[in-house]
Amino acid sequence: MTKILGFMTFLFIFSHSATAQKNSYSLEEALQTPERIEYLDLSSKNLTEIPSSIGALIHLKTLDISNNLLTQLPEEIGNLKHLEKLVANKNKLTQLPEFILNLKELKDLRLDKNQISTLPKKIDKLAKLEKLTLRDNRLSVLPKSFYNLLNLKELDLTSNTITQISKDISKLQSLTVLQLQFNPLKELPEKVGNLASLETLWLNKTELSSLPHSIGKLSNLKDLSAGYNHLKSIPATITALKNLESLSLEKNLISSLPADIGNLTKLKRLNLNTNKLTSIPASLGNLKLSALYLKENDITELPEAVIAMGCYDVEKDPQVYYPSRAELMIKDRERLKAKREKKAAERSLEEKQEYTELERIRLEKLKKEEKFRLYHNVVTDALRMHAYELSQLAPFSSNIKYKEIVISLEVNIDRYNVSEYITPLNYLMHLSEIPDNFKTIHSLSNTEIINFKNISHLAAHALADSYLSAKNYPKAIEYLNLALVDYPYHSFSGTTVNKDRLRIRTDLAKSYSSLNTKNIAFLYLLANTINSSGYGDYDKLIKEYAVHEDKKQLKEDIAVAAETIKIHDDGSYDITFRGNTHTFFDGPYKSSKADMKIILTSIALE
């Protein structure tokens, strides 16, 4: 009884929260209980006007009237004294009326894709405004009072006809995001360097021929983008941007870079495509870039230090040498191995004893987890919540069996009790498939769709882990394949998806090996070695599986397998090992055929 009450409390809290966020009324419905309405969504309804009665919703905090056919707003909107967010994107508004200035609580104002050519002269009366987006309008000048919006944090003026930014922009000390791209700006005032909080500055496709020297004072800047301009150089002061993570300067006329560009210690992404560069400073090799783009320049070679940096994502012209991804992976493995060996050799006797004890504790923990496996240990229980939310939406809301299964999940699902839920998890796995038009029908966010799609994956993967714990390898293989192929994991992070893929394939290798079908196990480990990008030491696993193998013969068989690789148009690839052929899919982590061969033939078995 306690369990049921606990679960019902969870459902009540969750459903109450979901209802508060999700309830969507028509204006007529909202006017029946105006004192209760804080959120109103009138977007995408082909409205040509908003009734004046909207002024009765005096407790409204969020109003979305985007994607309609509005040419003006009713004066009564000015009565919404508690309004904090107004979204009016994608309409036909030509001006922002003066009565908007009555919205003293307004923090978020979005007016993208309208036809607005002027702003109110006293716009600074919106003193609490933190976010203002005016992308794709017809603004050519900003009123003087605009620069008195002292709480403004995000400003997007993309795609207007603004030719000048006042030096008074330095007053906007709270500004973290400034987007000015696609405006005919000739220059930026030196005062822009006083924006101490600025983290993002986008200046693409303006008409800038130089950047202000004061840009080096933007100590919090993380993302600077000034591509598709007329820049011939960049100020040396830019090397003072210690927090800069992304620098995009493609499609300019830049002929040289500051010698000390290697001082940008946090830089991860550098785009210099299509410029006039003839060389790259060696100091760039001091960085740990994840992306370096140098195509369409006059560079003939890269400094050794830049090559040694080992960046995986490099775009360059054909005549410029840079190691292949496979060669970089091999060097990385050698470097990490040497680092581990050096560290081990330098340990004192006391440190070695401490390390041995920590390793013993780690192995004991792994042994315990192996007995009660659950890869998605933290998020598996979330499927209960997401399944409940799904059960409230058509067509699942009419599925009595589905609702019964959801209610039956009374307590938290964890590695110790997952085997008790084999039947309900099977039902959820098979019955939670999301229809193609589900997002549109229910106006769901991408996050919600991902959560719903992952119900099937989390169920399949949990069942696979349960069978692995029980050493029921045939069933484990069945559900691992379901989790890998039929119900793959979804995430905004490609890395997270890939780690899940690698884990499943490792577990498939273990299962096949336990069933004495090691040749298939080797296939999965070979695929993981191709894919791994540093996520796992699959060479070591192959050596463990090869304890009773003729190492020379195995090495030859792997070399033969490398020659059988066939890449398909969809990015998947086949490998044949000792007469067994399997198809693998690595998504964006796929390698070229040449790299695959290099990786496989470099596997060390001794």
Distance between CA 180 and CA 205 in Å, rounded? 9
Q: Which two tokens stand for residue 232?
A: 């011939």
Closest CA to 249 of 279, 276, 225, 267: 225
Q: Is the dihedral of CA 591, 318, 251, 221 positive or negative?
A: positive
> What integer best gives the mean pLDDT of the chain?
89
| Average pLDDT estimate for 554-564 | 93
Q: Give the contacts of 238 (CB within 8 A, at least 6 positions apart).
A: 211, 215, 216, 224, 244, 247, 258, 261, 264
Lowest-confidence segment of 183-192, 261-270, 438-447 by average pLDDT: 438-447
Distance between CA 325 and CA 244 in Å, rounded? 26
| Tens digits of residue pLDDT in 248-283 | 999 999 999 999 999 999 999 999 999 999 999 999
Give the DSSP letter of residue 434. Answer: P
Radius of gyration of the chain (CA): 30
pLDDT band at 10, cuts 50/70/90? very low
DSSP three-state, residue 156: strand
Our measurement of the distance from residue 472's CA atom to the centroid of its chain's CA atoms, rounded to an integer in Å, reads 36
Distance between CA 126 and CA 502 in Å, rounded? 52
Q: Please, what is the Cα angle at 569 between 567 and 571, to 5 degrees?
A: 60
pLDDT band at 604, cuts 50/70/90? confident
* Predicted local distance difference test score (pLDDT) of residue 102: 96
Q: Give the contacts of 354 (CB within 8 A, at least 6 positions apart).
A: none
Query: pTM for the full model?
Result: 0.68
Closest CA to 73 of 65, 81, 83: 65
pLDDT higher than threshold 70 for residue 535: no
| Tens digits of residue pLDDT in 206-256 | 999 999 999 999 999 999 999 999 999 999 999 999 999 999 999 999 999
Distance between CA 153 and CA 172 in Å, rounded? 8
Closest CA to 264 of 215, 322, 329: 215
| Average pLDDT estimate for 55-72 | 95
Lowest-confidence segment of 41-45, 475-479, 494-498, 514-518 by average pLDDT: 494-498
Give the residue with greater pLDDT, 177 vs 335: 177
Q: 């390698």: which residue's tokens?
A: 591
Give the DSSP letter of residue 486. Answer: I
Torsions phi, psi for 356 (to 5 deg): -60, -40
Torsions phi, psi for 566 (to 5 deg): -130, 120
Q: Which two tokens stand for residue 327?
A: 């060669």
Q: Is the dihedral of CA 501, 504, 509, 510 positive or negative?
A: positive
Q: Which two tokens stand for residue 101?
A: 């200035």
Give the residue with greater pLDDT, 279 vs 417: 279
Distance between CA 507 and CA 503 in Å, rounded? 6
| Tens digits of residue pLDDT in 13-48 | 344 433 333 456 788 888 899 888 999 999 999 999
DSSP β-ladder status, 313-315 and 566-567 = unpaired
Contact 466, 418 (CB under 8 A): yes
